[in-house]
Amino acid sequence: MYFRWTLRSLVSRSRTRAYGLHGGRFFSAACSGAPSTRNPAKIPKVLACRESYFWGTCGFHDIRYQIHQDNSSREEPLDPFALVADELSMLADRLRSMVVAEVPKLSSAAEYFFKVGVEGKRFRPTVLLLMASALNMPIPEAAASGAYNNFSKDLRARQQCIAEITEMIHVASLLHDDVLDDANTRRGIGSLNFVMGNKLAVLAGDFLLSRACVALASLKNTEVVSLLATTVEHLVTGETMQMTTKSEQRRSMDYYLQKTYYKTASLISSSCKAIALLAGHTAEVSKLAYDYGRNLGLAFQLVDDILDFTGTSASLGKGSLSDIRHGIVTAPILFAMEEFPELHVVVDRGFDDPANVDVALQYLGKSQGIERTRELAAEHANYAAEAIEALPESDDEAVLVSRRALVDLTHRVITRTK
Amino acid sequence: MYFRWTLRSLVSRSRTRAYGLHGGRFFSAACSGAPSTRNPAKIPKVLACRESYFWGTCGFHDIRYQIHQDNSSREEPLDPFALVADELSMLADRLRSMVVAEVPKLSSAAEYFFKVGVEGKRFRPTVLLLMASALNMPIPEAAASGAYNNFSKDLRARQQCIAEITEMIHVASLLHDDVLDDANTRRGIGSLNFVMGNKLAVLAGDFLLSRACVALASLKNTEVVSLLATTVEHLVTGETMQMTTKSEQRRSMDYYLQKTYYKTASLISSSCKAIALLAGHTAEVSKLAYDYGRNLGLAFQLVDDILDFTGTSASLGKGSLSDIRHGIVTAPILFAMEEFPELHVVVDRGFDDPANVDVALQYLGKSQGIERTRELAAEHANYAAEAIEALPESDDEAVLVSRRALVDLTHRVITRTK
């Protein structure tokens, strides 16, 4: 049994880049993460199958997955979220129980974004559970001691805990960000500050941070505690960088990328690394896990910056324009400024005046700003995929399918339209 | 050499309670915490000297320390703060370096209350450094391994770290509390939210919490991480209890004491326990350290509640009346309500109307509310002192003087006028 999988994405106009990809059989069932009991003899062709895909020039929505199995040929989308759906659901239940507070009002505030229906895309826990499976390889020491199966079961619970902690930190930062931005809505409902007031939103954020820290401590791995606690500092640093940008910083791509790393990529990259550390992997493997998260996070945010201008269409001005209206200069404008230095003056004037937003959009339209941002996003998506490819080989089907799903996520991230 | 130390405090009207107290020579120099090199043969009389003091009936300011040394008699106030002054100063320097952020604005915000002159009373670090010295006894295992001296030096640095973490958590909570209360001033200067805005105050609080968590992780003791992370949850829980009080809860002394524990006593009690845990003490000794902090914290807050009504004088209405004007019902009013049930109606009306505050003050003046609060504070101060007395005996002078200083703090807390 083998499959062929090709993808044409929207990304690079000029780049036609092909690289190998570990194949794996597609499972729609939740990935248990336990060592596969399937007969490895059945999957030699899978291991031999390294398919190529292309960063094409087509527009949004132009993404195809073609899976050819044996002598049948059918198109079937790979759904990384479906792979871990059952586990995500269990994790969501546990998260709800983890944020119960002694005071009912605090419970209501803390669980606000963990309630069924407003949990968001659960992008981070999906990545982390897939990463846990993708790294599910016997660690020599543990294997030698014969304790692999028990170690593995306990390990999975601890890795799930990383996913829960990551969600708590993420939601805490959302709650505080919404207070800072005086936001009215989030995930299609009223923001917590809007519904329950700033005070409870600040307190609920603090509460989630403390619960996250207590949960971290329970993992009894101080490197992991330090790693994830630092992500909170990074979230704050990124937010402050955005709030306190000087004129020359607003023109700097380096500053923008550093801020983006802190605000978006630090949490997922450190959490991915934590997944590897808990499993006892080498520094090299942990670094690959980190690299995956970092580049996926950066790609995600770059596309977010595009969507702020385009929305679900490909046309400029169809997005919410939320960033630019708040005076936040992102990659598309930064690239446009490189082409049209006169845009600097426009940016320096700020965007309180809607007419100035229109002028900036005109420059952006004339420039390659959107395309170059897409290219940059694609480049980071590539790096993320390469990190997965560089992982030590495995002949475990569940491992392979999880790796494939992680690579698939890199495409989803750059081809998403919302 | 021996000393005699008597104290008459303001506290109990009817109680004349005497109990023993470990004596110790008074050092004005900073207490190093290293094992004493003084000849134990010199201090048998100190060990034999258990002096008594009384909870008297006199008013504020009526506190006397009489120290009789050998055949000389002189009055000399014991100053627990002076005992650790040098170490506190070093700790303050390190705290300033610990809160430096990558972004200058965030650094300015985070260091705001760590700058020279606005560090407050440094009550918590003083207690914690004294507790570290008071528990500075060889732990059998470490002593047996012959590594006691190195262990002790490293231990002191780790215990100082607990003091730093505690200050960071405390200041983080102040920053967020001031945002919640829209406070304009703190420690005689503008509050951070007033000076730099709510956004930076929220972010700086988060930043301090994350730095505290990273510092905690560096101690590599997951019980301590969990213990101190839980105090953040307690601070939030206490604040929420205060914000969301229902009518029957506002009348409940139990509810008030629970809230007070969370808001004021949890941090210092857990930190005291952490000091003991790091030193490898038994559960019994750790519990005594915790009991000291808990009861000292409760006594401190009860006196704070009195001072809100009386200020530096003993007269009602001379305090800031900040609590009652914010609708916060504290112990004096709760005791007054027991005597005058008709006060319930007044309390239920709330205190938006200043006339209602005056009515409540009239009831309070007629009642034993202030005195009973003082008694309760004294009771907790007694419990705190008893916890110190119950510690395993030691013949180390530095240990003994630190214990005496901790007991002294229990008196200072209940006799303070600001």
DSSP states along A116-176: TT-STT-HHHHHHHHHHHHT----HHHHHTT-HHHHHHHHHHHHHHHHHHHHHHHHHHHHH
Specify the 3-state DSSP secondary structure of A36: coil
Per-residue pLDDT of A149-175, as tens digits, reads 556 669 999 999 999 999 999 999 999
Query: Is the per-residue pLDDT at A343 higher than 60?
Result: yes
Q: Which helix (H) or strand (E) holds A276?
A: helix A266-278
Chain-wide mean pLDDT for chain B? 81
Lowest mean pLDDT segment, chosen from A121-125, B54-58, B202-206: B54-58
Token output for B348: 């239920």
CB-count burial class (<10 Å; 0-12, 13-18, 19+) for B320? exposed
Minimum Cα–Cα distance from A182: chain B residue: B199
Integer Cα distance of B368 and B338 in angstroms: 10
Range B341-364 burial, b when 16+ CB lie within 10 A, else e = eebeebbeeebeeeeebebbbbbb
CB–CB contact A240 B105 (8 Å): yes
Give the percent of chain A with pLDDT over 90: 65
Who contacts B311 (Cβ-Cβ below 8 Å, separation ≥6)?
Answer: B318, B319, B320
Mean pLDDT value across residues A289-302: 98
The pLDDT score that the predictor gives to residue A16 is 28
The predicted structure's pLDDT at residue A22: 29
Residues of B in contact with A217 (CB under 8 A): 222-223, 225-226, 229
- Residue B411 has what pLDDT? 95
The pLDDT value given to residue B142: 55
* Whole-number pLDDT of residue A151: 61
Strands A185-186 and A189-190, sheet pairing: antiparallel
E strands, B165-294, are 185-186, 189-190
Kindly determine whether residue A229 and residue B237, on different chains, have CB atoms separated by under 8 Å. Answer: no
Residue B198 confidence (pLDDT): 92
Which amino acid does the sequence have at B195? V
Beta-carbon contacts of residue B248 (< 8 Å; ≥ 6 apart): none
Convert the pLDDT of each residue in A89-115 to its tens digit. Answer: 999 999 999 999 999 999 999 999 999
Which residue in B has a C-alpha nearest to residue A201's C-alpha? Answer: B180
Q: Helix (H, G, I), strand (E, B), or coil: what is residue A186?
A: strand
Across the range B125-136, mean pLDDT stands at 97
CA of A263 vs chain B CAs: smallest distance (Å): 13
**Cross-chain CB nearest to B103 (options A207, A210, A240):** A240
Which residues of chain B have a CB within 8 Å of the CB of A205?
A: 206
> Among B180, B205, B216, whose Cβ lies nearest the Cβ of A199?
B180
The top-level CATH class assigned to B82-312+369-415 is mainly alpha
Per the DSSP assignment, residues forming a β-bridge with A50 are A22
CA gap B328, B347 in Å, rounded = 10
**pLDDT at residue A51 greater than cutoff 50:** no
Searching chain A, which residue's CA lies closest to the CA of residue B200? A240
Chain A residues lying within 8 Å of B213, measured CB to CB: 213, 216, 225, 229, 232
Q: Are A225 and B230 a contacting pair at CB < 8 A?
A: no
Cα(B413)–Cα(B418) distance, rounded to whole angstroms?
Answer: 10
Q: Cβ contact (<8 Å) for A236 and B105?
A: no
Q: What pLDDT is attached to residue A313?
A: 77
Q: What is the pTM of this model?
A: 0.81
Among the listed residues B359, B92, B134, B180, the one whose alpha carbon sits nearest the alpha carbon of residue A205: B180
Radius of gyration of chain B measured on its C-alpha atoms? 22
Q: What's the pLDDT tens digit per position in A298-320?
A: 999 999 999 999 987 777 778 88
Q: How many CB pairs under 8 A join A and B?
A: 140
End-to-end CA separation in angstroms for chain A:
35
Of residues A61 and B268, more confidently modeled: B268
Pick from A37, A148, A128, A138: which is nearest to A87 by CA?
Answer: A128
What is the token pair recorded at A301?
A: 């945010």
Of chain A, the percentage scoring pLDDT greater than 70 comes to: 78
Choose the mutation target among A161, A223, A225 for the interface with B, i.e. most B CBs under 10 Å: A225
Report pLDDT for B76.
Answer: 55
**In this structure, are residues A391 and A135 in contact, taking their beta carbons and an 8 Å threshold?**
yes
Look at chain B and count its residues.
418
pLDDT, position B152: 65
Q: How far apart are CA A3 and CA A70, in angstroms?
A: 7
Q: Which residue has the higher pLDDT, A401 or A418?
A: A401
pLDDT tier, B164 (very low <50, low <70, confident <90, very high otherwise): very high
Is the CB of A225 less than 8 angstroms away from the CB of B225?
Answer: yes
| Lowest mean pLDDT across A32-41, A251-260, B78-87, B249-258 | A32-41
- Residue A197 pLDDT > 50, yes or no? yes
Which pLDDT value is given to residue A140?
64
Query: Across the interface, which of A103, A176, A232 has its CB nearest the CB of B202?
Result: A176
- Domain borders along chain B are 82-312+369-415
Q: Say what the pLDDT of residue A385 is.
A: 98
Residue in chain A lying closest to B223 (CA): A217
Which amino acid is residue A61, in one-letter code? H
A378 has pLDDT over 70 = yes
In 10 A of CB B298, how many CB atoms?
26
User: Is B258 a residue whose pLDDT tops 80?
Assistant: yes
Contacts of A106 in chain B (CB under 8 A): 236-237, 240, 244
Q: Which pLDDT value is given to residue A248? A: 84
| B66 close to B44: Cβ distance less than 8 angstroms | no
Q: Which pLDDT score is estimated for A198?
A: 92
Q: Are B217 and A229 a contacting pair at CB < 8 A?
A: yes
Residue B23's pLDDT is 28
Contact call for A211 and B233, based on CB within 8 A: yes
The predicted structure's pLDDT at residue A319:
81
Give pLDDT, residue B400.
Answer: 95
Percent of chain B scoring above 70 in pLDDT: 78
